[in-house]
Amino acid sequence: MLSQSIEDYLKAIYEIESSEGKVSTSALSEKLGVSPASVTSMVKKLSERKLITHKRYQGVKLTPAGRKIALEIIRHHRLVELYLKEALGVPWDQVHQEAEKWEHVLSEDLEDRIDKFLGYPVTDPHGSPIPRRDGTMIVRQCNALVDVEPDTLVKVVEVSDHDPELLRYLGGIGLYPETEMTVVSKQPFKGPIIVELTGKEHPIGRNAAKYIMVEKARN
């Protein structure tokens, strides 16, 4: 059995690997909210256990074994997020923090029951793909909203779950995964991006728009 700490590190490494490519000590330190020195010592332990590889002063990489575990945890996390929303009506801006705790205590049996209850879902409430039991995961091709040209019809693919505040705002304007909307304009001087959905226009800050992934709608 792996400690919760180890699971958290592996998950964080996976996530940074996906978004940044390189996984540095400081990035991990930042993400996990622990000191760089603590990261170094845990990295040493994870290397010894062959869950990651590590070259001093250069980053860290998951081994296949480590990646498998990371994906199991992420699977737990995302299944639980969706379950809490569907079965218990937990609002989408709260499911993440609950799932952070639940992901570590979910038995295989319960994982299967939840998966079945939900009808073997493919994405969580934020549009993130749910890894399969075998450790594979379908990644959808998409762009950050901030990079889309004005006058484009797009479909929301995925929204980052890291900021509840943002999720509440987006929920308020009806912006969810699978929603279609038009990028109306990008205001100059790093101003907001204006999108139109359900007939209304809404401003979305550039920073927030980095965390909203979309694809061109076929039209």
Partner DNA sequence: AAAGAAATTTAGACAAGGCTAAAATAATTT
Partner DNA sequence: AAATTATTTTAGCCTTGTCTAAATTTCTTT
- Per CB under 7 A, residues contacting DNA are 3-6, 8, 24-27, 29, 32-45, 54, 56-57, 59
Contact 48, 62 (CB under 8 A): no
- Report if residue 94 touches a copy of itself, rule: CB under 8 A: yes
Helical pair 4-20 and 25-32, crossing angle rounded to 10 deg: 120
- Report if residue 120 touches a copy of itself, rule: CB under 8 A: no
> What is the Cα–Cα distance from 104 to 3, expressed in whole angstroms?
9
Q: Which residues contact 19 (CB under 8 A, 6 or more apart)?
A: none
The answer to whether the Cα torsion of 67, 73, 77, 79 is positive or negative is positive
- Report if residue 117 touches a copy of itself, rule: CB under 8 A: yes
- Report if residue 37 touches a copy of itself, rule: CB under 8 A: no
Report helix, strand or coil for 73. helix
- Report if residue 82 touches a copy of itself, rule: CB under 8 A: no
- Report if residue 111 touches a copy of itself, rule: CB under 8 A: no
Contact 118, 153 (CB under 8 A): no
What is the DSSP annotation of 154-205? EEEEEE--S-HHHHHHHHHTT--TT-EEEEEEE-TTT-PEEEEETTEEEEE-
Among 101, 133, 168, 216, binds a copy of itself (CB under 8 A): 101
- Report if residue 110 touches a copy of itself, rule: CB under 8 A: yes
Nearer to DNA, 3 or 19 (CB): 3
Among 102, 137, 153, 185, binds a copy of itself (CB under 8 A): 102
Phi, psi of 113 (to 5 degrees): -65, -40
Nearer to DNA, 39 or 214 (CB): 39
Give, for 215, the enclosing helix (H) or strand (E).
strand 212-216
Residue 155 binds which one of a copy of itself, DNA, none, with CB within 5 to 8 A depending on kind? none
Stretch that binds a copy of itself, among 37-45, 110-118, 126-134, 163-171 (CB under 8 A): 110-118
- Report if residue 80 touches a copy of itself, rule: CB under 8 A: no
- Closest separation between CB of residue 210 and DNA, Å? 20
Q: Which residues contact 54 (CB under 8 A, 6 or more apart)?
A: 43, 44, 46, 47, 60, 61
- Closest separation between CB of residue 110 and a copy of itself, Å? 6
> What is the Cα–Cα distance from 173 to 7, expressed in whole angstroms?
35
- Closest separation between CB of residue 101 and a copy of itself, Å? 4
- Closest separation between CB of residue 61 and DNA, Å? 12
- Closest separation between CB of residue 130 and a copy of itself, Å? 18
